A = this chain, B = another copy of it.
């Protein structure tokens, strides 16, 4: 009688059980699924399901639910990865450059990395000319940037993600 939680896979506080993982998987697939549909899919009452979703949001596991857009349909059919290497690495300057890269038009993701490069910038642009302009006007001219190297992206695919299973 003491083990009323045999469905759960973890005992640690704040741990996610199978229901939580099922909810997350469903919302990754369709973030606008109704609470009723979600509840039916994971096998709990609607009120329980709403409670779980709120808890997942508040705990930070579920950070947001947002729209995914097709950059090509928005006039940016060309993707590139721009590797950025810095000449100096003072903390404040690195942060300031980071802030600027994130705000560039067409910037999709910016990775701050260790190793051969400092930043990897994934951008979507309207044309090769726009890519050249972006690099020449906003990146290589920046005083901290020592070198850039641009790779054309043929295709981007989402992986299976961080969920276990």
Contacts and interface: CB of A to CB of B under 8 A. Distances in A.
Interface in A27-83: 27-32, 59-71, 73-76, 81
A147 interface: no
A31 to B, nearest CB: 4
A20 B105 CA distance: 19
B73 A61 contact: yes
Contacts of A104: 159-160
A42 to B, nearest CB: 14
Given A67-B62, A162-B71, A111 B76 contact: no
Interface centre among A104, A122, A149 (most CB of B within 10 A): A122
A70 B122 CA distance: 20
A161 B69 contact: yes
Interface string A95-114: 00010011111111111111
B154 A102 contact: no
Interface residues of A, number: 65
Nearest to A106: B162
A69 B163 contact: yes
Contacts of A159: 101-104, 106-110, 121-123
Contact of A66 (B27, B151, B162): B27
Given A30-B64, A60-B70, A69-B163, 16 more contacts: A27-B66, A31-B64, A61-B69, A64-B67, A65-B68, A74-B163, A102-B157, A105-B160, A106-B159, A106-B160, A107-B161, A109-B156, A109-B159, A111-B122, A112-B157, A113-B153
